[in-house]
Amino acid sequence: MTLFSLARPVLFAMPPEDAHELTLKSLERGIYRRQARVDPPTLAVKLGGLTFPNPIGIAAGFDKDARVPDAVLGLGCGFAEIGTVTPLAQSGNPKPRVFRLVEDNAVVNRLGFNNQGHAAAKARLAARAKRGIVGVNIGANKDAADRTADYVAGLDTFYDLASYFTVNISSPNTPGLRDLQAPAALDELLGRVMAARAAKVAAGKPRRPVFVKVAPDVAIEDIAAIAGRIVAHDVDALAVSNTTLSRDGLKSTDAMEAGGMSGRPLFVRSTVMLARFHQALGGRVPLIGIGGIDSGAAALAKIEAGASLVQLYTGLIYEGPELITRIKSHLAAAVQSAGARSIGDLVGRKASEWAARQP
Catalytic residue among 171, 241, 262, 270: 171
**Distance between alpha carbon 83 and the CA centroid of its chain, in Å?**
10
Note if 163 is an active site residue.
Answer: no
Residues 6+ apart with CB under 8 A from 232: 187
CA distance 163 to 242: 21
Q: How far is CA 342 from CA 44, 262, 304, in A?
A: 7, 29, 13
Angle at Cα 97 formed by Cα 96 and Cα 100, nearest 5°?
95
**Active site residue ranges:** 171
